[in-house]
Amino acid sequence: MASYLPIADDEKGYELDLFCVPRHYENDLEKVIIPHGLIMDRTERLARDIIQDMGGHHIVALCVLKGGYKFFADLLDYITALNQNSDKSVPLTVDFIRVKSYCNDKSTNSVKVIGGDELSSLSGKNVLIVEDIVETGRTMQTLLSLLSECNPKMVKVVSLLVKRTPRSSGYRPDYIGFEVPDAFLVGYALDYNEYFRDLSHICILNDQAKEKYKV
């Protein structure tokens, strides 16, 4: 069974001119690598797989901000649609935490977790962590070890993207949308120093832009 959609290292992607890209980013992007429509189609199927595995019991969907917010909103829309159109359904509640580990295009060693309800409220629940991208896997491993202290009934992780990189710790989420090449990606809430969240397709950033938006 296919568990993720691979995007090859030599994937040519799509010319920016073929899609609608905000004017202010026109010179910052190399190409579109995952168009918005494809993200939505893949997300719809992830929702179905998740409900099949986790749908027996109250689900708490935990959004990892900020990068996860678009994927979280779209995934939950699909899950809600399934929940309201079938004989069996489960309550779905949401929570949000913020994690910061990046500066420019580099992962830093410290992973900071900020906000969210008391994690103890997750005790006995089926928790679904919703993340934008897994690179080294450090963020998710930190979060999972924090969560395990709260005795949830079940914890599953869904990440829209997983990067193929030698920097990976080997960690793999339970559900994966796409496996992507080792490049810095932006758009669909993925940012570079807070820019590019307002871009609906997932794109590869060019080197000139890395300089331009550097902090």
Q: In what order do the strands lie in the sheet with 5-6?
A: 5-6, 175-180, 154-163, 126-134, 59-65, 92-103, 106-114
Question: Which stretch in 82-90, 127-135, 159-167, 179-187 sits in contact with Mg ion by CB under 5 A?
Answer: 127-135
Contact status: 137 vs Mg ion (CB under 5 A):
no
Distance, in Å, from the CA atom of 16 to the CA atom of 31, rounded to the nearest integer, reads: 6
> What is d(CA 112, CA 186) in angstroms, rounded to the nearest whole number?
21
Q: Is residue 148 within 8 Å of residue 122, measured between CB atoms?
A: no
Residues 6+ apart with CB under 8 A from 41: none
Question: Of 157 and 186, which has the nearer Cβ to ligand IMP?
Answer: 186
- Choose which of 32, 39, 75, 134 interacts with ligand IMP (CB under 6 A): 134
In the complex with Mg ion, the residue whose CB is nearer, 21 or 129, is 129
Distance CA 117, CA 194 (A): 24
- Candidate list 184, 188, 199, 209; residue touching ligand IMP; CB under 6 A: 184
Please name which of 25, 37, 5, 1 lies closest in space to residue 179, comparing C-alpha atoms. 5
Taking the complex as a whole, the smallest distance from the CB of residue 166 to Mg ion amounts, in Å, to 20
Q: What x/- string results for residues 76 through 115 when contact with ligand IMP is judged by CB under 6 A?
A: -------------------------xx----x--------
Of the candidate spans 12-20, 25-33, 46-54, 128-136, the one that interacts with ligand IMP by CB under 6 A turns out to be 128-136
Candidate residues 13, 55, 67, 177; the one interacting with Mg ion per rule CB under 5 A: 67
Per CB under 5 A, 135 contacts Mg ion: no
The residues with which 203 forms a beta bridge, in sequence order, are: 32, 186
Residue 116 backbone zone (phi > 0: left; psi -120 to 50: alpha; other: beta): left
- Considering beta carbons, is residue 107 or 121 the nearer one to ligand IMP? 107
Number of residues that bind ligand IMP (CB under 6 A): 17
Binding site for ligand IMP (CB under 6 A): 67, 101-102, 107, 131-139, 184-186, 190
